[in-house]
Amino acid sequence: MTHEPIDLSAALASFDTLWSPRIIARVNDYDVRIAKVAGEHVWHAHAHTDEFFLVIDGELHIALRDRAADPGGDGRGERVVVLAPGAVFVVPAGVEHRPFAPAGASILMFEPAGTSTVGDRHDPIPDHVDVTTGHLLT
Helix (H) or strand (E) holding 91: strand 88-91
Question: What pLDDT is attached to residue 77?
Answer: 83
Closest Cα partner for 98 from 72, 118, 70? 118
| CA–CA separation, 72 and 3 (whole Å) | 49
Q: For the domain 18-136, what is the CATH code?
A: 2.60.120.10
Question: What pLDDT is attached to residue 74?
Answer: 67
For residue 126, the 8-state DSSP code is: P
Give the list of residues 6+ apart from residue 6 with CB closer than 8 angstroms, or none.
24, 25, 137
Helix (H) or strand (E) holding 100: strand 96-112
pLDDT under 70 in the chain at which residues? 1, 72-76
54 contacts 108 by C-beta, under 8 angstroms:
yes
57-82 pLDDT tens trace: 999 999 999 877 777 666 568 999 99
33 contacts 24 by C-beta, under 8 angstroms:
yes
Question: What pLDDT is attached to residue 8?
Answer: 96
Question: What pLDDT is attached to residue 39?
Answer: 97
Per domain, the residue ranges of the chain are 18-136
Global confidence as pTM? 0.91
